[in-house]
């Protein structure tokens, strides 16, 4: 079975990426064989379309409500065969896998489309394309087209498999607002060496870029009555942080995990700014405080904390509740903290609560009551024995985020990377205000914290008769209370995207739907049961209307002989 053509075509319009992967396969054998289509795509993306055509006959994937699809599927397939077509493969990716039996000399074309909104992290957007054809491909091509009306500030490509030979197959064209990256290696360039038919193409192909920013109140873009507003202020004074690290040293952390935690913590402690205050709590079935209050991050204090970190060993149970409540209490008692500062608790654990309070619902409730909006809680779950759902709900209920740390060689780097994202808060209590009676379906527009290098995105639908869209942003910076104002001329803004080849239809409307679904699902995690159902119902409607495979929908893939398979979107919480 030979893949004779594999194309990745990606269009990024104003951070919204639309990727189409097309694989053409021929069965050279003189009997029928399995043809397999395997794509790894970013977890943050939603699949929007899939089809396979075998000798001219098209078999589309149909997106349905998950429960309904499951019922149909269970009747079509005997139980136990429903392996599902999508699974999580690593911390950034999930894999879509489908195979079909094709007759001798037959051809099949697989086509998969997915969309995602690129998230700015540490000052750049990253578009990740996983390349793993597992064989030499006669026609192999990746095309990435980027159109950013704000202007492209910088652009780089990076790959884990590029040799000097392969670099010749890579071309990059760029002007003020557009870029085209093309990677088109010949069969000879793909070979590991001239004797063997083994491919070099195995790994990540990454495009990173950032846009130019001028207007202080961000940038507004409008297409077909939908707007998106990007806000990423730069060069602002950084808030001093009051941060408490709450570190699990229970028995299950033994060995590599505790070593990697030590390595990461030592580097993180060195990265604290002199104006920050910090403390360290370690816990197993006992909760131990390094000091009973927060101390300034002076060289001396950091060295003392680092000495403690060096001695961390792992044994005993896991009292998550006791450790978190101790941290909140320490923040409440703290004296001499800077008046305008940001308080945060960073929890790292690898297991379930086994000591102290064990009921996760009670822990969530107690922690939320204790924090009461006074600080942000970030929960890092190390490995797969944690209850990720519990950590995620606790973080989202307290202005934070949860992240799974994968147990690989780079776990220490994952921990440091996470810390870098939250290390520089530059705005608090951000409110993005728009004329209420002229905007419908506004996405989230209040944000507790803004970290340098990230971006706030708000989208909505403008009522027909609006000529000017006024925007007001209110926020607190370290030195003052800010009010920023901007006015967008609707007709002028619409012109920007006219006659652009790069545009895929009403992309801002799709961006709005994508963002709304993501936010509804996130909100549902920490909502009460009745609210949860309403939020999920809304997200389901949008998923079906815009044909996105989300955790609430399934794609039913029909094959020849009436076989059916299902593609579901996996979530980190399982």
pLDDT for position 502: 55
Q: Say yes or no: 208 and 271 in one domain.
A: no
Mean pLDDT of 545-570: 87
Return the minimum-mean-pLDDT range out of 130-134, 160-164, 411-415, 478-482: 160-164
Task: Identify the CATH number of the domain in which residue 349 sits.
Answer: 3.40.50.410
Q: Where among 369, 398, 423 does a domain terminate?
A: 423
The Cα–Cα gap between 411 and 418 comes to 11
Q: Say yes or no: 128 and 23 in one domain.
A: yes
Q: Say yes or no: 370 and 278 in one domain.
A: yes
Q: Say yes or no: 197 and 314 in one domain.
A: no
Q: Say yes or no: 194 and 74 in one domain.
A: yes
Length of the chain: 574
Q: Is residue 296 part of a domain?
A: yes
Quote the domain boundaries for residue 278: 241-423
Nearest of 102, 4, 8, 2 to residue 57 by alpha carbon: 102
Q: How many domains does the chain have?
A: 2
Strand duo 57-65 + 553-558: pairing:
antiparallel
- Strands (E) across 224-265 are located at 226-231, 241-248
Q: Say yes or no: 34 and 75 in one domain.
A: yes
Phi, psi angle pair for 294, to nearest 5°: -85, 140
* In the predicted structure, residue 464 carries a pLDDT above the cut 90: no
User: Exposed (0-12), middle (13-18) or buried (19+): which is 552, by Cβ within 10 Å?
Assistant: buried
Residue 274 CB neighbour total at 10 angstroms? 10
- Strands (E) across 89-167 are located at 93-102, 107-117, 125-131, 139-147, 152-159
Provide the CA 424 distance to its chain's centre, in angstroms. Answer: 19
Report the predicted TM-score, pTM, of the whole model to 2 decimal places: 0.94
Percent of the chain whose predicted confidence (pLDDT) is above 90: 81
pLDDT for position 68: 80
Structure-model confidence comparison of residues 216 and 370, the more confident one: 370
Q: Can you read off the two tokens belonging to residue 215?
A: 């207007």
Q: Where among 366, 394, 423 does a domain terminate?
A: 423
Q: Say yes or no: 156 and 27 in one domain.
A: yes
* In the predicted structure, residue 80 carries a pLDDT above the cut 60: no
* In the predicted structure, residue 519 carries a pLDDT above the cut 70: yes
Q: Say yes or no: 151 and 272 in one domain.
A: no
Q: Say yes or no: 188 and 249 in one domain.
A: no
Q: Say yes or no: 257 and 159 in one domain.
A: no
Q: What is the pLDDT of residues 220-267, one digit of tens each?
A: 999 989 999 999 998 899 999 999 999 999 999 999 999 999 999 999
Q: Say yes or no: 274 and 169 in one domain.
A: no
Nearest of 167, 164, 99, 104 to residue 134 by alpha carbon: 99
Q: Say yes or no: 159 and 274 in one domain.
A: no
């Amino acid at each position: 079975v030979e893949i004779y053509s594999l194309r990745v075509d990606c269009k990024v319009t104003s951070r919204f990426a639309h990727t189409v992967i097309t694989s053409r396969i021929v069965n050279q054998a003189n009997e029928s064989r399995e043809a397999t289509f395997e794509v790894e795509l970013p977890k943050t993306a939603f699949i929007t379309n899939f089809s396979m055509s075998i000798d001219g006959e098209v078999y589309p994937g149909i997106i349905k409500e998950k429960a309904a699809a499951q019922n149909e599927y269970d009747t079509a397939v005997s139980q136990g065969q429903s392996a599902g077509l999508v699974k999580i493969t690593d911390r950034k990716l999930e894999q879509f896998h489908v195979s079909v039996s094709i007759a001798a000399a037959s051809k099949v074309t697989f086509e998969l489309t997915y969309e995602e909104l690129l998230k700015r992290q540490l000052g750049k957007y990253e578009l990740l394309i996983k390349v793993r054809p597992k064989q030499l491909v006669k026609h192999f091509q990746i095309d990435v087209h980027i159109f950013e009306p704000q202007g492209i500030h910088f652009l780089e490509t990076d790959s884990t498999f590029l040799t000097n030979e392969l670099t010749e197959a890579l071309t990059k064209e760029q002007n003020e607002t557009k870029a085209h990256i093309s990677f088109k290696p010949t069969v000879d360039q793909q070979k590991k060496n001239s004797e063997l038919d083994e491919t070099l193409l195995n790994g990540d192909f990454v495009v990173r870029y950032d846009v130019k920013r001028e207007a202080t109140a961000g940038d507004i873009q409008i297409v077909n009555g939908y707007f998106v507003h990007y806000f990423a202020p730069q060069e602002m004074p950084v808030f001093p942080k009051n941060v408490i690290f709450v570190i699990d040293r229970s028995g299950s952390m033994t060995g590599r995990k505790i070593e990697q935690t030590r390595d990461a913590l030592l580097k993180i402690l060195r990265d604290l700014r002199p104006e920050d205050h910090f403390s360290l709590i370690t816990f197993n079935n006992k909760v131990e405080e390094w000091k009973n209050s927060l101390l300034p991050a002076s060289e001396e204090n950091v060295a003392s904390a680092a000495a403690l970190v060096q001695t961390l060993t792992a044994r005993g149970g896991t009292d998550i509740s006791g450790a978190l409540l101790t941290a909140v209490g320490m923040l409440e008692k703290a004296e001499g903290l800077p008046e305008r500062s940001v308080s945060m608790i960073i929890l790292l654990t690898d297991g379930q609560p086994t000591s102290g309070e064990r009921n996760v619902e009670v822990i969530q409730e107690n922690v939320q009551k204790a924090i009461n909006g006074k600080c942000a809680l970030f929960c890092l779950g190390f490995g797969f024995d944690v209850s990720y759902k519990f950590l995620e709900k606790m973080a989202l209920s307290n202005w934070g985020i949860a992240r799974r740390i994968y147990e690989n060689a780079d776990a220490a780097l994952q921990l440091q990377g996470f810390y870098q994202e939250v290390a520089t808060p530059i705005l608090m209590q951000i409110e993005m205000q728009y004329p209420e009676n002229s905007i419908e379906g506004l996405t989230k527009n209040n944000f507790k914290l803004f970290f340098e290098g990230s971006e706030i995105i708000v989208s909505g639908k403008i009522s027909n008769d609006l000529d000017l869209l006024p925007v007001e942003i209110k926020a607190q910076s370290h030195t003052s209370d800010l009010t920023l104002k901007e006015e967008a001329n609707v007709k002028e803004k619409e012109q920007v995207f006219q006659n652009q080849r790069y545009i895929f239809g009403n992309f801002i409307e799709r961006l709005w739907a994508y963002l709304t679904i993501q936010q509804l699902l996130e909100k549902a995690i920490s909502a009460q049961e009745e609210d949860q159902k309403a939020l999920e119902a809304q997200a389901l409607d949008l998923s079906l209307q815009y044909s996105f495979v989300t955790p609430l929908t399934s794609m039913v893939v029909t094959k020849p002989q009436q076989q059916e398979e299902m593609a579901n979107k996996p979530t980190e919480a399982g």
